[in-house]
């Protein structure tokens, strides 16, 4: 086999040697250990022997030439097929891949951007390469999960055509193409969580396509084209966006406070620090999470500027067959944070009342067909919502909130109802506005439309904010009773439970009779900081009155 | 006993042969085969040395501290130091160790610093050890082994073990702390040890005249309160006789002694050194004429004990054995990566397991980790 | 149980080890009939003979070098270096030989031995009888470095060091030799190397210290308690290999750390503690790690008590981390 003999480091750390004299000629046969060449180094002149017996097939350096350690100075054909090449000492190790590495960048064109190898040939007519970066599709979101690619690489797409479904802390949205063209590369896998600003797909725009949208992403080639002003503007925009995402002003906080803030989902910028120079301490974050919040975000919705990273698991256990692990993030984490905040901040108490809703059932049966004519599916919820709006008018303290900063109790003179909805991703609480102004049919229509969008993950983040009171309806699943957790910073939440038929005693002028009646439990959890027990009970009793006598709902 | 022979270079030394190989004293009573054996051992060491230099020049091993010219000291000593005695050494005593029981395979494995090396490739080339023949690991720091040998000799004495510790070092080491404290402690403790100064004329590029103002290295012994002997190091009979005498003296409770073996380092300090830069070629030429091998061959020849054909055949066999062993060593498996952190302590402590695991994660990603290189449990 | 001073506990440990194991021997300068300049070896020559406890010539290099040879050849030497300040002639033997022997020989040769030496200030000893050189040695893989702070620990740690298969540098806080007394168990027992000791519990701040600084930390912690700060004190005991897990655990639990040693600050042992916390526990920290140390100067004589950290300086550091 052929053996490349490389100049070894024959001193301790020499770098090169001068070929003084070849002691053999090409074609000579040599024995193992036979001297082949005389080499002079910084330290000494030495004879270098053959590492194997064989025939010198090629001499690679001239006498007088100075060659670096590790370069091939001769090639020989060694005897016997079983012969192993001399093990390379470190100095001479693996020059071939090294050389290849060296060659590669040299061969690559110097101009970088336009030469990315994955780009297909430019379509005639001169479109341009466009790298689409995941935009901040919420307010201050930091990352998004690629749920589903709606096109394949190579697809021709229209401007605004949906390309990918992305789920963020706040919502799942379809991200459209910024321009018409061809998608040439999908950069992220489904299920992957990518930070805002990273390129998720690359497209080759169609010629003559409109200019980039303002929030657009990086440019490809054509760097020297005549629109420096536009580019500058885009760069500025990018920078601004980056700054926005990174929450430009650096909050001074001790490291442990940063960790705890991350774990509790607290935005450090909102915590006032008690340390020197306003440094946020761990205790500040903890007390903020316990009750210092002035966040207006309802349960299930994202607070602004969510921390970017999920907390590391306490122990880095590898998944086993007995368990599966997935990152604690997105909606699930938001729910967790909201629940913890609510429970830690608001001292809850819960009251339960049983309602005889036989009349309500009857009324709803009657209303159903009327509603159906208008394309509305009428459930019990509009009745309950309406009853809440009326009861809140009578007991406004249940539709209030505490402004911690100003230390004021805010009472809302309108009713924006948060309706807790069970979705695949977990609990989401979209809001129906101004319930006090709306009729049953309108509420029914809005509710079913909102429910549909919520379950499809298409609800907008502004629809998740600003409720004044919330309702959670677990009745259609089961359970006779629950103690709901308040949708902070609301001060009350109504729990609606399953309807059951039971024999009931009905007072009639003829005396008490037993009839088949429909019953339902309502529970209400209230924040004892603002609402006392008696008020909670009064509110519930009033609701009972309204719903047991649904005719009153129209008064 | 050997004669003290005054020579033109002014040194006085005990010897049995003159430079031509002619006996100048009554030879020890031994059969011809004993003398022939001295000669073939010297030739064997020369074969090994030449091979190692070849390997170094071809880049197959990293470093050689040649023993060329020192064969008589090594062979004479190896035959004097019993297998139960100890050999504490410096750079150039590997040949003696080889003759005392260090297997050739381990010798070459150490030159390759490969996974067969008993030192697990931790030392640079030419730093041998062999536990079975009491040849401890030594460091490249000059003279540090001297107090070790003394302490070990004291231990032998305290434990009642009749072993003697021979402690080798070069002429340069006589200037080190270890020489002074070792000589001093040994004499104070009357430790069963023999100090052997292999005076090969040069400490890398520094000649003896720049190393000491003493008349000889041997005479330094007097100040410590022990006898000092200067012996012709190129006469294996003299080396053997002197060392045997001093070893048995120590064993009998007579205490330590210093033996200076006068010889000459015919090569550079190491394979990285060019001695022509600092040595007078005439001096080298002079000592080439005193090369212990031809000198002893002449002695044997005069006695009619030399069989040149047998010697040549033996040399061919030696070279074949050495080459075969070289090829075995070159096929050694890669060094296990875990050995990076093993043997620092008796057990691998947590911080080293962590350091290794961190490294191993990278090695694994780069595909450099082999079977058995796995992470430590933490 | 007898009540012993720290130096008596060391003496007790040596006697216990020598009675138990004939291969244990003690030597150094003035350790024989005199019993050592601090009397740590008092009575040993008398009891065990001059073969097993004896004076050596005045050469630290020789003492440690010979100890290595003894260890290689079956003995368990306990060498004394009279003052840690005098250890540097033996630095080569400790660092290049004892600490590397197992590694360089692939485990074929080992040096199970102990080098005992009094270290630290507080005895009006000036530059050369006061130094704390632990950092030099903690940078030496293969060596173990142990520093006791109580009589009972001194005995148990020394017996563990003598039994240890690796070379141990045993630094004795000479300022504590006679200043503290406590009950010390009789007979043979060991205190595990590589395990720190909780001295005083507290939940606001933790002071990591060792040797002669332990009582200083305790005093500061008591003063801090009066100011309403609950201060934990941890005696590291073994500096190499350090109980890293323990250090990190305490740092994480408390979140505020002061590191205390009398050696100079720059590249001192406290730097390692601080770096370790920065690397592995920063997110648990409520305040920066603060070091209280000697000055980056040679050890002074007249101003020794200003050079040495005292409770006031430690308290100041505690208040600084608490105020952060």
Sheet holding A129-133, edge to edge: A129-133, A199-205, A181-186, A156-157
State the pLDDT confidence band at A313, using cuts at 50, 70 and 90: very low
- List the single residue in B181, B343, B350 with the smallest CB-CB distance to C61: B181
Contact of C279 with chain B, judged by CB distance below 8 Å, is answered with no
Closest Cα in chain B, distance from residue A69 (Å):
10
The pLDDT, as a whole number, for residue A407 is 83
CB-CB under 8 Å, C59 with B351: no
Catalytic annotation, pick one of A215, A348, A528, A542: A528
- List the single residue in C282, C286, C323 with the smallest CB-CB distance to A282: C286
State the pLDDT confidence band at C76, using cuts at 50, 70 and 90: very high
Number of residues assigned to chain C = 324
CB B148 within 8 A of CB B134: no
* C305 belongs to the catalytic site: no
CB-CB under 8 Å, B139 with C97: yes
Looking at residues B68-90, what average pLDDT do you find? Answer: 97
Looking at residues B312-329, what average pLDDT do you find? Answer: 93
Looking at residues B15-23, what average pLDDT do you find? Answer: 95
Lowest mean pLDDT among A192-206, B208-222, B258-272, C133-147: A192-206
Q: Is A94 left (phi over 0), alpha (psi -120 to 50) or beta?
A: left
Looking at residues C269-276, what average pLDDT do you find? Answer: 98
Q: Where are the beta strands (DSSP E) in A278-374?
A: 348-356
The β-bridge relationship of strands C114-119 and C53-55 is unpaired
- Encoded tokens for C79: 């060498």
The pLDDT, as a whole number, for residue B212 is 95
How many A-C residue pairs are in contact by the CB < 8 A criterion? 26
- Encoded tokens for C32: 């024989």
Q: Provide φ and ψ at B16, rounded to 5°.
A: -105, -25
CB C53 within 8 A of CB C106: no
- Encoded tokens for A273: 């620090």
The pLDDT, as a whole number, for residue A100 is 39
> What's the whole-model pTM score?
0.67
In this predicted model, which residue has the larger pLDDT, B8 or A393? A393
Average pLDDT, chain C: 97
Average pLDDT, chain B: 93
- Encoded tokens for B173: 């080491």
Dist CA A155 CA A182 (whole Å): 6
CB-CB under 8 Å, B62 with A12: yes
**CA nearest A198: which of A159, A166, A161, A151?**
A166
CB-CB under 8 Å, B148 with C68: yes
- Encoded tokens for B23: 């006996």
Q: Name every chain A residue with its beta carbon within 8 A of the beta carbon of B63.
A: 12
Dist CA B218 CA B93 (whole Å): 19
CB-CB under 8 Å, A32 with B323: yes
Lowest mean pLDDT among A289-303, C262-276, C300-314: A289-303
Q: Name every chain A residue with its beta carbon within 8 A of the beta carbon of C286.
A: 254-257, 281-282
CB-CB under 8 Å, B57 with A7: no
CB A26 within 8 A of CB A57: yes
Dist CA B35 CA B299 (whole Å): 9
The β-bridge relationship of strands A511-527 and A492-508 is antiparallel
What is the 8-class DSSP label of residue A12?
S
Closest Cα in chain B, distance from residue A14 (Å):
9
Cβ-Cβ contacts under 8 Å for A381 (sequence gap 6 or more): A419, A443, A444, A447, A471, A473, A496
Dist CA C177 CA C155 (whole Å): 12
CA dihedral B339, B341, B344, B350 (to 10 degrees): -140
Task: Report the chain A residue with the minimal C-alpha distance to residue B57.
Answer: A48
**pLDDT tens string A207-252:** 654 444 333 333 333 333 344 444 444 444 444 444 433 344 578 8
For chain B, give the percent of residues with pLDDT over 90. 84
Task: Report the chain B residue with the minimal C-alpha distance to residue C79.
Answer: B151
User: Got the DSSP string for A422-490?
Assistant: EETTEEE--EE--GGG--HHHHHHHHHHHHHHHHTT---GGGGS--SEEEEE-TTT--S---PPP-TTS
CB B90 within 8 A of CB B74: no
Dist CA A19 CA A17 (whole Å): 6
The pLDDT, as a whole number, for residue A216 is 36
Looking at residues B68-93, what average pLDDT do you find? Answer: 97
The pLDDT, as a whole number, for residue A244 is 39
Residue in the structure block whose two tokens are 């805010």: A410
CB B362 within 8 A of CB B340: no
Residue A282 confidence (pLDDT) above 70? yes
CB-CB under 8 Å, C287 with A254: yes
Looking at residues B259-287, what average pLDDT do you find? Answer: 93
Looking at residues A434-450, what average pLDDT do you find? Answer: 92
CB C201 within 8 A of CB C232: yes
Dist CA C38 CA C14 (whole Å): 14
Q: Which chains reach chain B with 3 or more Cβ–Cβ distances below 8 angstroms? A: A, C
CB-CB under 8 Å, C97 with B144: yes
The pLDDT, as a whole number, for residue A147 is 85
**Is C247 strand, coil or helix?**
helix
How many CB atoms within 10 Å of residue C88?
A: 15
Looking at residues A346-360, what average pLDDT do you find? Answer: 92
The pLDDT, as a whole number, for residue B2 is 58
The pLDDT, as a whole number, for residue B17 is 96
Lowest mean pLDDT among A327-331, A372-376, A508-512, C123-127: A327-331
Residue C107 confidence (pLDDT) above 60? yes
- List the single residue in C62, C75, C100 with the smallest CB-CB distance to B147: C62
Q: Is A125 left (phi over 0), alpha (psi -120 to 50) or beta?
A: left
Looking at residues B79-107, what average pLDDT do you find? Answer: 96
Q: Where are the beta strands (DSSP E) in A302-343?
A: none
Number of residues assigned to chain B = 378
Contact of C283 with chain A, judged by CB distance below 8 Å, is answered with yes
- What angle in degrees, to the nearest 10, is found between the helix axes of A381-394 and A358-373? 120
**pLDDT tens string C23-68:** 999 999 999 999 999 999 999 999 999 999 999 999 999 999 999 9
Looking at residues C191-214, what average pLDDT do you find? Answer: 96
CB-CB under 8 Å, A47 with B271: no
Residue A172 confidence (pLDDT) above 90? no
- Which range scores top for mean pLDDT: A454-458, B326-330, C235-239, C320-324? C235-239
Looking at residues A83-99, what average pLDDT do you find? Answer: 42
Dist CA C64 CA B323 (whole Å): 42
The pLDDT, as a whole number, for residue C181 is 93
Number of residues assigned to chain A = 555
Interface test with A, best of C285, C288, C289 (most A CBs within 10 A): C285
CB-CB under 8 Å, C166 with B137: no
Contact of C245 with chain B, judged by CB distance below 8 Å, is answered with yes
Q: Name every chain A residue with its beta carbon within 8 A of the beta carbon of C284.
A: 255-256, 259
Task: Report the chain C residue with the minimal C-alpha distance to residue A274.
Answer: C324
Q: What is the ipTM of this complex?
A: 0.94
Residue B350 confidence (pLDDT) above 80? yes
- Encoded tokens for B145: 């082994």
For chain C, give the percent of residues with pLDDT over 90. 98
Dist CA A170 CA A303 (whole Å): 9
State the pLDDT confidence band at A552, using cuts at 50, 70 and 90: confident
The pLDDT, as a whole number, for residue A215 is 39
- HEC-encoded secondary structure of A515-549: EEEEEEEEEEEEECCCCCHHHHHHHHHHHHHHHHC
Q: Name every chain C residue with its beta carbon within 8 A of the beta carbon of B344.
A: 102-103, 141-142
State the pLDDT confidence band at A80, using cuts at 50, 70 and 90: low
Contact of A122 with chain C, judged by CB distance below 8 Å, is answered with no
State the pLDDT confidence band at A106, using cuts at 50, 70 and 90: very low
Q: Sign of torsion, CA C195 C200 C203 C207?
A: negative
Catalytic annotation, pick one of C129, C229, C250, C261: C129
Closest Cα in chain B, distance from residue C117 (Å):
20
Q: Name every chain B residue with its beta carbon within 8 A of the beta carbon of A6.
A: 59
Looking at residues B22-49, what average pLDDT do you find? Answer: 95
Residue A88 confidence (pLDDT) above 60? no
CB-CB under 8 Å, B58 with A50: yes
Dist CA C35 CA A251 (whole Å): 63
Looking at residues B112-129, what average pLDDT do you find? Answer: 96
CB A395 within 8 A of CB A412: no
In this predicted model, which residue has the larger pLDDT, B189 or A478? B189
State the pLDDT confidence band at A111, using cuts at 50, 70 and 90: very low
The pLDDT, as a whole number, for residue A98 is 39
Residue C234 confidence (pLDDT) above 80? yes
């Amino acid at each position: 086999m052929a053996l490349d003999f490389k100049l070894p480091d024959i001193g301790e750390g020499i770098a090169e040697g001068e070929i003084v004299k070849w002691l053999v000629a090409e074609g000579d046969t040599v024995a193992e250990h036979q001297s082949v060449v005389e080499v002079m180094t910084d330290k000494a002149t030495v004879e270098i022997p053959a590492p194997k017996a064989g025939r010198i097939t090629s001499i690679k350096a001239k006498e007088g030439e100075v060659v670096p350690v590790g370069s091939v100075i001769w090639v020989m054909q060694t005897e016997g097929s079983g012969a192993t090449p001399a093990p390379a000492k470190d100095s001479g190790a693996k020059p071939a891949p090294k050389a290849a590495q060296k060659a590669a960048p040299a061969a690559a064109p110097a101009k970088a951007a336009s030469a990315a190898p994955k780009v297909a040939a430019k379509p005639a007519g001169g479109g341009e390469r466009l790298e689409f970066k995941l935009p901040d599709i919420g307010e201050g979101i930091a990352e998004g999960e690629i749920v589903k690619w709606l096109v394949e690489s190579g697809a021709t797409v229209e401007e605004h055509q949906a390309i990918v479904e992305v789920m963020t802390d706040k919502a799942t949205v379809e991200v459209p193409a910024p321009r018409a063209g061809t998608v040439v590369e999908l950069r992220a896998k489904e299920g992957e969580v990518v930070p805002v600003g990273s390129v998720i797909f690359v497209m080759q725009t169609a010629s003559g396509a409109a200019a980039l949208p303002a929030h657009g992403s990086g440019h490809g080639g054509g760097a020297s084209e005549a629109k420096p002003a536009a580019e500058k503007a885009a760069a500025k925009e990018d920078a601004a966006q980056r700054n926005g995402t990174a929450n430009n002003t650096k909050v001074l906080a001790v490291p442990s406070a940063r960790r705890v803030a991350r774990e509790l989902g607290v935005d450090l910028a909102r915590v006032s620090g008690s340390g020197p120079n306003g440094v946020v301490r761990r205790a500040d974050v903890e007390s903020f999470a316990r009750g210092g919040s002035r966040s207006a975000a309802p349960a299930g919705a994202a607070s602004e500027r969510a921390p970017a990273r999920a907390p590391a698991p306490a122990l880095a256990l590898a998944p086993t067959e007995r368990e599966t692990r997935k990152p604690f993030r997105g909606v699930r984490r938001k729910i967790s944070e909201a629940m913890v905040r609510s429970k830690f901040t608001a001292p809850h108490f819960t009251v339960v009342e049983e309602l005889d809703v036989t009349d309500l059932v009857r009324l709803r049966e009657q209303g159903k067909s009327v509603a159906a004519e208008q394309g509305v599916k009428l459930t019990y919820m509009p009745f309950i919502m309406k009853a809440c709006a009326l009861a809140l008018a009578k007991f406004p303290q249940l539709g209030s909130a505490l402004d911690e900063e100003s230390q004021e109790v805010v009472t809302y003179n309108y009713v924006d109802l948060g309706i807790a909805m069970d979705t695949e991703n977990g609990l989401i609480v979209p809001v129906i506005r101004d319930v006090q102004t709306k009729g049953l049919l309108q509420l029914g229509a809005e509710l079913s439309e909102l429910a549909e969008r919520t379950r499809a993950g298409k609800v907008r983040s502004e629809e998740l904010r600003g409720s004044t009171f919330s309702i959670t309806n677990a009745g259609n699943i089961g359970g006779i009773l629950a103690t709901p957790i308040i949708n902070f910073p609301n001060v009350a939440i109504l729990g609606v439970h399953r309807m059951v038929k039971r024999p009931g005693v009905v007072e009639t002028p003829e005396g008490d009779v037993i009839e088949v009646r429909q019953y339902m439990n309502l529970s209400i959890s209230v924040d004892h900081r603002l609402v006392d027990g008696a008020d909670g009970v009064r509110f519930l009793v009033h609701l009972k009155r309204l719903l047991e006598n649904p005719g009153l709902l129209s008064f | 006993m050997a004669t003290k022979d005054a020579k033109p270079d002014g040194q006085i030394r005990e010897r049995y042969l003159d430079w031509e190989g002619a006996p100048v004293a009554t030879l020890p009573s031994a059969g011809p085969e004993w003398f022939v054996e001295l000669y073939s051992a010297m030739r064997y060491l020369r074969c090994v040395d030449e091979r190692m230099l070849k390997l170094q020049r071809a880049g197959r091993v990293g470093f050689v501290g040649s023993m060329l010219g020192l064969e008589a000291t090594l062979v004479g000593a190896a035959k004097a130091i019993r297998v139960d005695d100890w050999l504490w050494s410096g750079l150039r005593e590997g040949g003696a160790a080889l003759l005392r029981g260090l297997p050739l395979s381990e010798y070459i494995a150490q030159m390759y610093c490969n996974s067969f090396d008993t030192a697990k490739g931790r030392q640079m080339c030419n730093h041998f050890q062999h536990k079975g023949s009491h040849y401890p690991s030594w460091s490249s720091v000059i003279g540090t082994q001297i107090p070790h040998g003394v302490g070990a000799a004291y231990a032998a004495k305290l434990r009642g073990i009749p072993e003697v510790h021979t402690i080798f070092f070069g002429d340069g080491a006589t200037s080190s702390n270890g020489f002074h404290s070792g000589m001093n402690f040994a004499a104070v403790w009357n430790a069963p040890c023999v100090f052997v100064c292999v005076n090969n004329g040069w400490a890398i590029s520094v000649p003896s005249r720049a190393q000491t103002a003493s008349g000889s290295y041997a005479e330094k012994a007097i100040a410590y309160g022990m006898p000092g002997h200067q012996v012709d190091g190129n006469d294996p009979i003299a080396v053997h006789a002197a060392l045997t005498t001093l070893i048995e003296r120590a064993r009998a409770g007579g205490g330590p002694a210093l033996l200076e073996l006068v010889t000459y380092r015919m090569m550079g300090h190491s394979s990285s050194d060019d001695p022509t830069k600092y040595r007078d070629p005439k001096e080298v030429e002079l000592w080439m004429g005193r090369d212990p091998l031809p000198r002893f061959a002449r002695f044997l020849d005069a006695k009619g004990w030399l069989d040149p054909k047998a010697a040549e055949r033996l040399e061919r066999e030696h070279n074949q054995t050495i080459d075969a062993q070289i090829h075995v060593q070159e096929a050694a498996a890669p060094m296990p990566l875990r050995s990076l952190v093993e043997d620092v302590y008796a057990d691998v402590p947590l911080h080293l397991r962590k350091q290794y695991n961190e490294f191993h994660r990278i090695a694994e990603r780069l595909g450099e980790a082999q079977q058995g290189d796995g992470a430590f449990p933490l | 149980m007898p009540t012993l001073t720290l130096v008596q506990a060391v003496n007790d440990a040596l006697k216990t080890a020598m009675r138990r194991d004939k291969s244990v021997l003690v030597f150094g300068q003035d350790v024989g009939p005199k019993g050592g300049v601090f009397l740590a070896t008092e009575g040993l020559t008398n009891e065990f003979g001059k073969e097993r406890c004896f004076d050596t010539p005045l050469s630290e290099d020789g003492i440690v070098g010979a100890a290595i040879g003894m260890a290689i050849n079956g003995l368990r030497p306990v060498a004394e270096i009279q003052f840690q300040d005098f250890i540097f002639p033996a630095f080569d033997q400790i660092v290049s030989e004892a600490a590397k022997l197992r590694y360089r020989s692939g485990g074929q040769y080992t040096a199970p031995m102990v080098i005992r030496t009094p270290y630290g200030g507080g005895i009006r000893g000036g530059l050369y009888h006061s130094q704390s050189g632990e950092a030099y040695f903690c940078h030496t893989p293969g060596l173990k470095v142990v520093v006791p702070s109580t009589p009972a620990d001194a005995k148990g740690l020394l017996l563990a060091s003598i039994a240890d298969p690796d070379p141990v540098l045993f630094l004795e806080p000479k300022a504590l030799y006679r200043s503290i007394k406590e009950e010390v168990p009789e007979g043979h027992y060991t205190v595990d190397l590589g395990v720190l000791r909780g001295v005083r519990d507290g939940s606001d701040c933790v002071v990591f210290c060792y040797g002669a600084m332990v009582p200083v930390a305790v005093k500061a912690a008591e003063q801090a308690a009066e100011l309403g700060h609950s201060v934990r004190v941890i005696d590291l005991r073994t500096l190499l290999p350090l109980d890293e897990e323990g250090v990190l655990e305490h740092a994480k639990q408390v979140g505020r750390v002061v590191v205390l040693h009398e050696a100079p600050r720059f590249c001192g042992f406290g730097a390692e503690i601080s770096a370790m916390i920065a690397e592995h526990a920063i997110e648990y920290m409520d305040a920066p790690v603060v070091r209280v140390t000697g000055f980056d100067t040679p050890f002074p004589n007249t101003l020794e008590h200003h050079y040495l950290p005292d409770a006031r300086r430690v308290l100041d550091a505690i208040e600084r981390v608490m105020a952060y």
